[in-house]
Chain A
Amino acid sequence: MFTFAVGSGLSIASILLAVIVLAAMLIWVERRLLSFWQERLGPNRVGWFGIMQVVADMIKIFTKEDWVPPFADRLSFVLAPAIIMVVVLMSFAVIPFTPEVGVIDSHIGVLFVLAMASLGAYSVMLGGLSSNNKYALLGSLRAAAQMVSYEVFMGISLLGVVVLAGSFNLREIVESQADGWYIVPQCIGFLIFLIAGVAESHRLPFDIPEAEQEICAGYHTEYSGMKFGMFFVGEYLGLVLISSLITVLFFGGWLGPSFLPPIVWFALKAGFFIAFFILMRAALPRPRYDQLMSYGWLFLLPLSLLNLLLTGVVVLSTL
């Protein structure tokens, strides 16, 4: 019970704690990194280098009035932010952090993550729809279209990895990368997954569902207090999830030279991609809605199908 093993209580508790604390800390990390990239200083007053800014934000957001608009549909309004938290935390269940740390060793890991990502669309849809606000509705319409269409080739881009590893089990996928990470044979799949991952967690530059400048925060316009905080933390959890998935699927998960423990290798790789996602937010402009759609359906979908076809040909010809 109190040893690190897949599915042990200690493992589950530490993953849950680490992931949520990390997602909260990312608020500070992102603000600080963004400010460096914009030649500013960023929040650096509270605590050591401003690291306690998160605590200050937490106190603020917990003590805020928890207001539900009278015109909102109360049940789904309250339910929506909970869905995204639950769904993203569920996805972490199948992520293999190290050989010992993990929640379940599922043989349908990849499919489970994709299924949970699809359920995440309900959160933004219900949130926008129940707000009874035209901007929120526009945001959730965009979110639904974006998530549904980018899920398609998000799944297809992963199939290349699944074909090479011969398994849907994320743990076996990592183990099969011992003699070479899948980034080399699957670089196109990696790029597509990266782009689809950004769109799926609706981070910038693909934050069209919540574009502040156009539709004033989109689906969470009417949210305040901890309900907004849950959307916010849910988004960062999604960021951690996508980074972990990229690490697991394309960069060999915990594998690395043995002078560092496996969890450090995992954290380093995932941290690199988290920083990269923040860099994308700092650097890239948001595409128009129709550009996003046509880019997805007309360019990325054929490319991912082609990638799958080529992988299949190569795998079959070397059998």
Chain B
Amino acid sequence: MFSLIRDTLLSQAVTLWRVFRKLFVKADTVQYPEERPYMFPRWRGRIILSRDPDGEERCVACNLCAVACPVDCIALQKTETEDGRWYPEFFRINFSRCIMCGFCEEACPTNAIQLTPDFEMAEYVRQDMVWEKEDLLIDGTGKYHDYNFYRVAGKQIAGKGKGEALNEAEPVDVRSLLP
């Protein structure tokens, strides 16, 4: 009997009091369009394609982002420049499907595809939510300022032969017996 009274009355009274105290607590929400919440740099919002410090596209069209994407919203086609650099011929993200999971960013080997704190992407026409490479490419390096894929990778391009990349050893001469 006592426990019944305790459970039905006392605990409810305590709950009422604790919720009542919230009247004097500042609201957690803000007046959105005028006031804006602080967006954290790692927020997973609108997707961009970044450039390396030299101003070239970082994307090497490896298709890993398209594979990682759980909703298949990324489509791209690989092509090549004459000096041997790979780049996407087209790169298309359908933001009406995108769920901002960030798997593409995790999968990307060259830090090309990145998510940004921008979330205001509403459109009146559904087709406008399909973004092409021109829309996605930015001029800067995004979150990683010094990274240049072709400078660190072993891939041979014009002006950079085998073994000339940063921290890369000379290729092994298999015909030599010397250690």
Contacts and interface: CB of A to CB of B under 8 A. Distances in A.
B12 interface: yes
A41 B31 contact: yes
Given A41-B31, A280-B16, A284-B15, A36 B22 contact: yes
Contacts of A299: 4, 8
A267 interface: no
Contact of B22 (A39, A280, A284): A39
Given A295-B8, A299-B4, A37 B19 contact: yes
Interface string B5-46: 000100010011011101101111101000000000000000
Nearest to A33: B23
Nearest to B26: A39
Interface in A298-319: 299
Interface string A11-47: 0000000000000000000000001111111000000
A295 B19 CA distance: 24
A56 interface: no
A43 to B, nearest CB: 12
Instruction: Give the interface size bracket for B toward A.
Output: 10 to 19
Given A284-B12, A284-B16, A41 B22 contact: no
B12 A37 contact: no
A279 B27 contact: no
Instruction: Give the interface size bracket for A toward B.
Output: 10 to 19
Question: Majority SS of interface residues in chain A?
Answer: helix
Contact of A282 (B8, B19, B29): B19
Nearest to B24: A36
A283 B27 contact: no
Interface in A34-78: 35-41
A38 B12 CA distance: 17
A35 B18 CA distance: 15
A39 B30 CA distance: 11
Contacts of B15: 283-284
B44 to A, nearest CB: 24
Contacts of A36: 22-23, 27
A299 B7 CA distance: 13
Contacts of B18: 283
Contacts of A283: 12, 15-16, 18-20
A38 B20 CA distance: 10
Interface in A260-289: 279-280, 282-284
Nearest to B32: A41
Given A279-B16, A283-B16, A284-B15, A37 B22 contact: yes
B32 to A, nearest CB: 10
Nearest to B14: A283
Contacts of B25: 39
Interface of A: 35-41, 279-280, 282-284, 295, 299
13 contacts: A35-B27, A36-B23, A37-B19, A37-B20, A39-B26, A40-B28, A41-B27, A280-B16, A282-B19, A283-B19, A284-B16, A295-B8, A299-B4
Given A37-B19, A39-B26, A40-B29, 18 more contacts: A35-B27, A37-B23, A38-B22, A39-B22, A39-B27, A39-B29, A40-B28, A41-B27, A41-B29, A279-B20, A280-B16, A282-B19, A283-B15, A283-B16, A283-B20, A284-B16, A299-B4, A299-B8
